[in-house]
């Protein structure tokens, strides 16, 4: 595989069915990858079993198929990568680039809301608790292809963040960085809810000596201002029997020209051909003109 080939991905968590906000992320990343004549991969981010819904992983893959969003290769499941995560953590601890922390949320709130690194100074070292990385990179800014120059709070950017939780579950920040590197992802296309988290991921890429991807954050679909569609707030599942209207609604949301109502395959071919990244709204969120359950091809 050429090292210069574009490789993108869609990485949903199996905490429920795909909704309109999920479709925007899936379609946006799919169109970007295919317009660049690259690969589009699917990764199921199933590292948080307490939040998972039984059967959701299979339902997500079936929904993508129904929408013609066929991925290259085999879908990767994060639970298959636990050994790789632990090996990296063991190496970081050995090099004193990560350490155990026993601070509770209450302690952190009492110290101003951000963790102050106190457990990293303990002697002898702690051997139980959550595991935090020594965040020496402290990246607080980057350039996003749609959102432009992004800057986050410097104290947030400097925080030693968790890479393995106290309950033994691997943290998103570690898993997503290792998996993006493992899969050779060259550009991450996703929603703006993860805009700030990108700085932590860039810091971790730097610490691990890995090449960071480019970043493209799409506006979030919101039912009202500050209230994004999500599985946690029970956003309705998208229709898998007649997907054409939802595809055109998602295209309109992304600033793209609607396509002829036809088979989903023909619609996607047309959408890829006319895709223009410069037309994606440079906004962090967009309030839908219709209720999520009423999405149609005429949605503003």
For residue 299, being part of any structural domain is answered with no
9 labelled binding-site residue: yes
- DSSP code string of the chain: --TTS-EEEE---SSS--BHHHHHHHHHHHHHHHHTT-EEEEEE----GGG--TTHHHHHHHHHHHTT-PPSS--EEGGGGHHHHHHHHHHHHHTTSEEEE---HHHHHHTTSS---GGGG-SSPP-SSEEEE---S---EEEETTTEEEE--HHHHHS--EEE-TTSPBPHHHHHHHHHHHTT-SEEEEEGGGTTHHHHHHHHHHHHT-PPPEEEEEPEEEEETTEE--TTTTPPBPPSSSTHHHHHHHHHHTTPPP--SS-HHHHHHHHHHH--GGGS---SEEE-SS-GGG--TT--
- Scanning the structure block, which residue is given the tokens 């209230």? 227
For residue 52, being part of any structural domain is answered with yes
Neighbours of 157 (CB within 10 A): 20
Backbone φ and ψ of 229, nearest 5°:
-70, 135
Q: What is the pLDDT along the chain (300 residues), one digit of tens a residue?
A: 344 799 999 999 999 999 999 999 999 999 999 999 999 999 999 999 999 999 999 999 999 999 999 999 999 999 999 999 999 999 999 999 999 999 999 999 998 999 999 999 999 999 999 999 999 999 999 999 999 999 999 999 999 999 999 999 999 999 999 999 999 999 999 999 999 999 999 999 999 999 999 999 999 999 888 778 886 666 899 999 999 999 999 999 999 999 999 999 999 999 999 999 999 999 999 999 865 555 543 333
Domain around 199: 7-80+176-294
**Which pLDDT score, from 0 to 100, does residue 228 have?**
85
Residues 168 and 214 in one domain: no
299 labelled binding-site residue: no
Dihedral class, residue 174 (left if φ above 0, else alpha if ψ from -120 to 50, else beta): alpha
The pTM is what?
A: 0.93
82 labelled binding-site residue: no
Residues 296 and 248: their CA atoms lie apart, in Å, by 8
12 labelled binding-site residue: yes
**What is the domain count for the chain?**
2
149 labelled binding-site residue: no
Last residue of a domain, one of 156, 172, 188: 172
Query: Which candidate, 179, 232, 223, 228, places its Cα nearest to that of 201?
Result: 179
**Which pLDDT score, from 0 to 100, does residue 231 have?**
66
Looking up residue 60, the CATH number of its domain turns out to be 3.40.50.620
Residues 198 and 157 in one domain: no
Residues 154 and 222 in one domain: no
Residues 55 and 91 in one domain: no
- Whether the CB-CB separation of 66 and 188 falls below 8 Å is answered with no
Residues 202 and 286 in one domain: yes
Residues 272 and 260 in one domain: yes
Residues 90 and 226 in one domain: no
- DSSP code string of 157-174: HHS--EEE-TTSPBPHHH
Residues 270 and 265: their CA atoms lie apart, in Å, by 9
156 labelled binding-site residue: no
For residue 165, being part of any structural domain is answered with yes
159 labelled binding-site residue: no
122 labelled binding-site residue: no
213 labelled binding-site residue: no
249 labelled binding-site residue: no
45 labelled binding-site residue: yes
For residue 2, being part of any structural domain is answered with no
224 labelled binding-site residue: no
Long-range contacts of the stretch 166-170 (C-beta < 8 A, 24+): 166/102, 166/129, 166/130, 169/47, 169/48, 169/49, 170/47, 170/78, 170/82, 170/85, 170/86
81 labelled binding-site residue: no
For residue 257, being part of any structural domain is answered with yes
């Amino acid at each position: 595989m050429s090292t210069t080939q574009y490789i993108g991905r869609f990485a949903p968590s199996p905490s429920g069915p795909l909704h309109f906000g999920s479709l925007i992320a899936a379609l946006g990343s799919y169109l970007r990858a295919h317009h660049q004549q690259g690969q589009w991969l699917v990764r199921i981010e199933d590292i948080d079993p307490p939040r998972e819904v039984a059967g959701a992983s299979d339902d997500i893959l079936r929904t993508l198929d129904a929408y013609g969003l066929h991925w290259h290769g085999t879908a990767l499941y994060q639970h298959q990568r636990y050994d790789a995560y632990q090996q990296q953590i063991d190496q970081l601890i050995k090099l004193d680039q990560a350490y155990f922390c026993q601070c509770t949320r209450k302690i952190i709130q009492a110290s101003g809301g951000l963790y102050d690194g106190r457990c990293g100074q303990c002697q002898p070292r702690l051997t139980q608790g959550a595991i935090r990385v020594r965040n020496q990179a402290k990246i607080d800014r980057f350039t996003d292809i749609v959102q432009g120059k992004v800057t986050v709070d410097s104290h947030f950017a400097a925080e030693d963040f968790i890479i393995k939780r106290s309950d033994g579950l691997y943290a998103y920040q570690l898993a997503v960085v290792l998996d993006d590197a493992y899969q050779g992802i060259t550009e991450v296309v996703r929603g703006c809810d993860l805009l700030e988290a990108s700085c932590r991921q860039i810091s971790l890429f730097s610490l691990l000596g890995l090449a960071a991807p480019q970043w493209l954050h799409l506006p979030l679909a919101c039912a009202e201002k500050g209230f994004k569609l999500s599985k946690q707030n029970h956003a309705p599942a998208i229709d898998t029997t007649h997907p054409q209207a939802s595809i055109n609604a998602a295209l309109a949301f992304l600033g793209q020209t609607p396509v002829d109502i036809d088979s989903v395959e023909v619609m996607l071919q047309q959408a890829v051909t006319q895709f223009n990244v410069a037309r994606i709204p440079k906004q962090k969120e967009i309030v839908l003109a219709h209720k999520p359950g009423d999405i149609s091809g005429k949605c503003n």
